[in-house]
Structure 1
């Protein structure tokens, strides 16, 4: 299990690595090589059943086709159709609707905070796969360290305002209360949350959805604002099963993530803002929320 998810995690991180050069004329993306290794390992260990392979292949083919066709002049409607199908396939993976994925449960109904509800954490290969492919093909990323540092500096005020707004609202509505802690599972939880939750959700809602809505609306100021609002509301609605408070807080947080992405034009800013909000809740507040 560790090998499979270690390879998947490295595949996600390797999106920022140079391609693997096999010959003078043949290069492969490092993330693709590592993803293939993760899939083979997953099949060998039973995390993936053979039934998962058609879903994986169809999703990757759709995503690659959508990305390539979008560059072609005169293929506007085909590009939109392929993007829509890619979004639907990514959602199906992220929501665990496709067969053949046996995601192991690594935390089972743990009560971490006094008065807190129990929570469970899975290693979701399907969601991580979706996030990886979307991150690699559709997200604007920093190409070098100075660019990354610049994006983080520009996003810092957005991060601070988002954190203050979400935490303040969560405390005000009685969703959580202060609870400073550093349990043994901290590193595991944060690493899984970063790679399999924050990356996947930001790649979909900001990198793909918000970016394409803004482009559809002409990349004008009003169009970009509409894209932020639409992606944020949809992000909130995907949390509706948790009740109105979760939906409200997720929508507020999504606005912050969307503004960070719009302001910097780099997906790293949205991922970092998302991760900071989640990490602060885990380390300093009731996690996941107060019972009752």
Structure 2
């Protein structure tokens, strides 16, 4: 074999091995999510690969990656696939003030969160110290609005602590992966220099998808304030983990200090 062909052969082999290590091996490991969660868990490598496809392409292929990622996450989060039934970890917390908090999780959101974390590690997307003041501001505004609108209701219990941890590791990571990394980024790229419109657009979608949980105009208004803060934080800082922490901070303050759920 001529030298040139041997070089091309070695380069081709290297590319195949790199493809295996970069995509196929992580996807195979993520497929292990199918063991506890069945078909819902089998979506983890598909979500991860669709997120990778966004970064690897441009033009219509990148747009298609956004669309596929959004649809996969939505289907999995809504529990449409087998294995998506909510799992209760502890008996719920309840008190005389009418607070009820469930220590449970949505398996679909667990699967999304695992895929998103694996992807963010690959991207080397980390939190920055300069993000901290913006995170605190994004936490403070929804909390103060909630405090003014529905008052203080401090509470504590093991179920609340577990619910707060599930909220951080499952709810906030999966929702910010969907709303910020996929929807808002995709909308920004579509809108170009008008990308600020994506802040309002994604806030509206965020509020709409919470209508089953926030069943009154007051509750939806508070959800909209929180969603706007997360969207604005992304617009200003473009840091995924900053949005996750702000989202979790608001939810944790709600769990421990405000009436829960929001008055309907």
Provide TM-score, normalisation by structure 1: 0.71
Report if the CA contact (8 A) 1:66-1:82 is conserved.
yes
Judged with a 3 Å threshold, the aligned counterparts in structure 2 of structure 1 residues 156 and 173 are, in CA distance, closer, same or farther, namely same
Are positions 1:172 and 2:148 aligned together? yes
Aligned match of 2:203: 232
Give the superposition deviation at 1:281.
1.5
Task: For 2:81 and 2:119, locate their aligned partners in 1 and report how far apart those are by CA, in whole Å.
Answer: 22
Are positions 1:125 and 2:96 aligned together? no
Task: For 2:26 and 2:245, locate their aligned partners in 1 and report how far apart those are by CA, in whole Å.
Answer: 20
Q: Deviations over 1:55-114 (max 9, x none)?
A: 5546643652564266345xx3344234223312211111112223343212455314x4
Q: Deviations over 1:7-59 (max 9, x none)?
A: xxxxxxxxxxxxxxxxx86636796566344433x1xxxxx34xx2xx55466
Are positions 1:270 and 2:243 aligned together? yes
Report if the CA contact (8 A) 1:63-1:137 is conserved.
yes
Task: For 1:229 and 1:33, locate their aligned partners in 2 and report how far apart those are by CA, in whole Å.
Answer: 38
Give the superposition deviation at 1:184.
2.2
Q: Deviations over 1:134-178 (max 9, x none)?
A: 4544899654xxx62xx2x3333333333332122223333xx22
Judged with a 3 Å threshold, the aligned counterparts in structure 2 of structure 1 residues 160 and 60 are, in CA distance, closer, same or farther, namely same
Report if the CA contact (8 A) 1:261-1:267 is conserved.
yes
Find the residue that maps to 1:179 and give its secondary structure. Answer: coil
Task: For 2:45 and 2:122, locate their aligned partners in 1 and report how far apart those are by CA, in whole Å.
Answer: 19
Find the residue that maps to 1:173 and give its secondary structure. Answer: helix
Are positions 1:89 and 2:72 aligned together? yes
Task: For 2:91 and 2:103, locate their aligned partners in 1 and report how far apart those are by CA, in whole Å.
Answer: 7
Aligned match of 1:5: none
Give the superposition deviation at 1:235.
0.6
Task: For 1:69 and 1:205, locate their aligned partners in 2 and report how far apart those are by CA, in whole Å.
Answer: 15
Judged with a 3 Å threshold, the aligned counterparts in structure 2 of structure 1 residues 278 and 245 are, in CA distance, closer, same or farther, namely same
Equivalent runs, 1:1-292 vs 2, <5 Å: 27=21, 32=27, 35-40=30-35, 42=36, 48-49=37-38, 52=39, 56-57=41-42, 60-61=45-46, 64-65=49-50, 67-68=52-53, 71-73=56-58, 76-112=59-95, 114-137=96-119, 143=125, 148=127, 151=128, 153-174=129-150, 177-218=151-192, 220=193, 222-223=194-195, 225-241=196-212, 242-243=214-215, 244-290=217-263
Give the superposition deviation at 1:117.
4.0
5+ residue gaps, structure 2: 1-16
Give the superposition deviation at 1:129.
1.0
Provide TM-score, normalisation by structure 2: 0.77
Give the superposition deviation at 1:277.
0.7
Give the superposition deviation at 1:211.
0.9
Find the residue that maps to 2:261 and give its secondary structure. Answer: coil
Report if the CA contact (8 A) 2:152-2:258 is conserved.
yes
